[in-house]
């Protein structure tokens, strides 16, 4: 499906392409396809393609004197986008320990939502989440698909430090903190795996359009996996799925 896109300059060397302002899987797919067409055309002057929920920022290695020309070129490229019904994406299986040692806010959510902790864990680990994009922190995945019964407002006072690996809920979103950071989300568990490795050729295993599931593990499994991750030998489970 072709969307009506808007093109705006952002700074002197970037063009912001915007889709309708909604969070939607079709828009995500369209952004991914447009990104692929641009990449396939190997335009040397484009140094950065950054997508988000309903936008794509295209950054050039020169100061654009004439945005109209670049926009025209992009509009023509967008015409080449074809619906990709056969898109294969990857489903990543992320181990998460929901033990009270990590899930420090589970108790409070349980009271507020009148759901047992087991039920919260079950609902959180049953869903298949879509990776919309990476932002906020290096390796932080913006995920869609959180069960509505688990929507919990952000804390009014953010914590000064949230541990690396913390699995948390903020509003209608859930995510994993790839590194320690201040943050206002409610913490329900921790994942022992690395979401960002600055020394790897591709620093993040997941990309926009991939899917993830959270797999509950016990404390002792957590310690085992953590040991393997620290030794650099842990193999994250994944499978190909047709999107």
Contact residues toward another protein (CB under 8 A) are: 8-14, 16, 18, 21-23, 47-55, 57, 59, 63-64, 67, 133-140, 142, 179, 196, 198-199, 203-204, 207-208
Q: How far is the CB of 53 from another protein (least distance, A)?
A: 5
Give me the residues paired with residue 9 across strands.
15
Q: How far is the CB of 5 from another protein (least distance, A)?
A: 13
Strand 211-217 and strand 88-97: the pairing is parallel
- Contact by Cβ (8 Å): 174, 168: yes
Q: How far is the CB of 51 from another protein (least distance, A)?
A: 7
Q: Alpha-carbon distance 233 to 102, whole Å?
A: 24
Q: How far is the CB of 202 from another protein (least distance, A)?
A: 8
Q: How far is the CB of 21 from another protein (least distance, A)?
A: 6
CA 156 from chain centre, in angstroms, equals 24
Q: How far is the CB of 138 from another protein (least distance, A)?
A: 5
Closer residue to another protein in complex, CB, 17/225: 17
Closer residue to another protein in complex, CB, 212/217: 212
Closer residue to another protein in complex, CB, 117/207: 207
CA Rg value for the chain: 20
Closer residue to another protein in complex, CB, 48/237: 48
- Contact by Cβ (8 Å): 132, 142: yes
Give me the residues paired with residue 174 across strands.
169
Closer residue to another protein in complex, CB, 142/185: 142
| Alpha-helical runs (H) found in the chain | 25-40, 67-78, 106-113, 117-126, 219-230
Tokens of 209: 């359009």
Q: Alpha-carbon distance 142 to 208, whole Å?
A: 9
Distances (CA, A) of 223 to 2, 185, 193: 48, 24, 11
Closer residue to another protein in complex, CB, 133/222: 133
């Amino acid at each position: 499906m072709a969307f009506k896109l808007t093109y705006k300059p952002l700074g002197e060397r970037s063009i912001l392409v915007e889709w309708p302002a909604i969070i939607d899987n079709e828009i995500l797919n369209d952004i991914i396809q447009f990104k692929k067409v641009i990449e396939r055309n190997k335009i040397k002057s484009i140094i950065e393609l950054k997508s988000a929920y309903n936008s794509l920022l295209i950054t050039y290695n020169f100061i654009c004197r004439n945005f109209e020309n670049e926009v025209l070129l992009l509009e023509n490229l967008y015409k080449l986008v074809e619906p990709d019904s056969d898109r294969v994406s990857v489903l990543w299986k992320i181990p998460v320990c929901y033990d009270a040692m990590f899930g420090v806010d589970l108790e409070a959510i349980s009271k507020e939502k009148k759901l047992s902790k087991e039920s919260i864990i079950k609902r959180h680990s049953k869903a298949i989440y879509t990776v919309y994009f990476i932002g906020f922190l290096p390796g932080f995945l913006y995920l869609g698909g959180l069960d509505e019964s688990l929507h919990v407002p952000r804390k009014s006072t953010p914590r000064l430090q949230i541990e690396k690996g913390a699995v948390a809920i903020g509003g209608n979103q859930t995510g994993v903190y790839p590194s320690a950071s201040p943050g206002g989300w409610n913490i329900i568990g921790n994942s022992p795996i690395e979401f960002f490795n600055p020394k790897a050729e591709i620093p993040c295993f997941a990309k926009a359009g991939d899917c993830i599931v959270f797999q509950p593990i016990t404390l002792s499994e957590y310690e085992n996996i953590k040991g393997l991750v620290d030794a650099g030998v842990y193999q994250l489970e994944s499978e190909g799925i047709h999107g």
